Amino acid sequence: MRASIIPTPTELQVNASAAPFVLSVSSRILATDAAASVAGHLAGILRPSTGYPLPVLSPLDGHVAGPADIAFHLDLTDELELGAEGYRLETSAAGATITAATAAGLFYGIQSLRHLFPADIEKRSVQSAPWQATAASIIDRPRFAWRGAMLDVARNFFDVPAVTRFIDEIVLFKINVLHLHLTDDQGWRVSIAGRPELTGIGAASAVGGGPGGYYTEEDYARIVAYASERFVTVVPEIDVPGHTNAALSAYPELNADGTAREPYTGIDVGFSSLDVDADATWQFLDDVFRSVAAQTPGPYLHIGGDESHSTPPDQYPVFLARATALVAAHGKVPIAWHEAGRSSDLAPGTIGQYWSYVTPQNNAAELAASFVDQGGSLILSPADVAYLDITYDETTPIGQAWAGGPTSVRAAYEWEPADILPGVADERILGVEAPLWTETVASAADIDYLVFPRLAAVAEIAWSAPAGTPARNWAEFSDRLEAWYPRFLELGIGAFREGEPYPAGRSGVSGGVSRVPGSDLA
């Protein structure tokens, strides 16, 4: 038996010849109160397929772990070795133990333990034993604190079950940030106190004339809570000053001519802008940022700033300075796409999200460095390797073909964050994020197909050792990925597989959508 853990752990010893850990009908999960909810989460994963009761019991009540048990140890003294998100996992015929300094660390230990069991463990109906986990000894901690996935719910709307499903999928690979692109030209998807037309008129459209939709405050709270139980921070994005046609269609006073714009269902970018000078704009943004900040427990609020081609160039930096200050005044750390580096007056600590290529185009490297010069740090989403909406190859029926694409799984795997911006110190790179834009994505099945397995590749870049070390090895990764396909199947994740046709009966918007490569890169 071999171990197919993705992302690959910092230290992994597989004892292939040793007797494995075996789960049985008498297995128990031992955890103190502080670890009980994570232990309960593991029980929820293991019970349906094993049919075992797997009670969660406290060692403080005198229960002692035996060879069929899984024991959780939450021990702050381990922080030195394991950090805030690391864990140790031991599996053998003597039992399974997961040790961490935090509940998040234990949660990542659970994901690795899952990967050591046969793929059938992921089934939701009772299967037959034996349930063996390869004997292994693992010490693991992430390279980057920010390991993100972005879902664009503005171009096409995805309801709460689709988003919680997406969260369940991304945590398999230890992703800890869900960036929701909540607003764009084609739709406004989050309710804002006192601004009912944003989710009235503004939410009723989507690309291609789809039905649209939005999250009520209650919906959004459910997403945030579901994410938080899985150690995922939700980062809401309100994209301004461009990408704002939905807002401009909902509130006439946001337009210089006082006339509401028509709803937009195409896929062009760069044609809309808020009016930087208007008081109405700033009253609007104050309402929006206040409401989104209040609904979001996480520390961040993303304000977009990309492709604002219709904002007068001299006003764009002024806008970003004022908008980032407003976000900070509402108690959140502002994040913006790298174009916002054109302002030299960003709120202190504003984070930049870089979306040019692995080889920076035009002045993108300078714009990214501008955030660092102003005391901020960077999230890297190089479009030619980390964009999940780009086609895999010439046969991919959904997705877009710009950004140097098609982008193979191998290309998504073979890049190094530290090599993109040579002037930027490594410690200013917060981490890595893979965005899924949804102009061509209409269903959960479409999401799965474009996201997997490329997100697994990007997750390994975010978590595991850098390029140039033995751990970063495409041939070895592709073997592990191969071993993952039965698991994707059992999990109901319709992942792309090289050489296999797109599954029939999917509802994707048909492909052929393309833009001139790099035409929009600042």
Chain residues that interact with ligand TNX, rule: CB under 6 A:
269, 306-307, 337, 355, 389, 400, 437, 439, 520
* Residues 380, 385, 389: CA angle, nearest 5 degrees: 100
- Residue 213 tokens read as 């939709």
Residue 241: asked if its preceding bond is cis (omega within 30°), the reply is yes
Q: What is the amino acid identity at position 397?
A: P
| Least distance from ligand TNX to the Cβ atom of residue 181, Å | 8
Report the alpha-carbon distance of residue 418 to residue 133 in Å, rounded. 35
Question: Which CB atom, from 30 or from 421, has the smaller least distance to ligand TNX?
Answer: 421
Whether the CA torsion 40, 42, 47, 48 is positive or negative: it is positive
| Least distance from ligand TNX to the Cβ atom of residue 403, Å | 7
Report the alpha-carbon distance of residue 214 to residue 220 in Å, rounded. 9
Report the alpha-carbon distance of residue 31 to residue 13 in Å, rounded. 25
Contacts of 317 (CB under 8 A, 6+ apart): 342, 343, 344, 345
Question: Which CB atom, from 437 or from 484, has the smaller least distance to ligand TNX?
Answer: 437
Question: Which CB atom, from 56 or from 335, has the smaller least distance to ligand TNX?
Answer: 335
Question: Which CB atom, from 433 or from 460, has the smaller least distance to ligand TNX?
Answer: 433
| Least distance from ligand TNX to the Cβ atom of residue 358, Å | 15
Is-catalytic flag, 500?
no
Report the alpha-carbon distance of residue 415 to residue 174 in Å, rounded. 19
Contacts of 361 (CB under 8 A, 6+ apart): 518, 521
Active-site pick, 85, 169, 237, 307? 307
| Least distance from ligand TNX to the Cβ atom of residue 212, Å | 17
Beta bridge partner(s), residue 146: 431
| Least distance from ligand TNX to the Cβ atom of residue 113, Å | 36
Question: Which CB atom, from 4 or from 186, has the smaller least distance to ligand TNX?
Answer: 186
| Least distance from ligand TNX to the Cβ atom of residue 243, Å | 6
Nearest to 311 by CA among 348, 281, 286: 281
β-strand 131-133 against 21-23: which pairing, if any? antiparallel
Question: Which CB atom, from 121 or from 269, has the smaller least distance to ligand TNX?
Answer: 269
Q: What is the amino acid identity at position 331?
A: G
H or E element in which residue 455 lies: helix 454-463
Q: What is the amino acid identity at position 482?
A: E
Instruction: State CA 188 to chain mean position distance.
Output: 20
Q: Which residues are annotated as catalytic?
A: 307
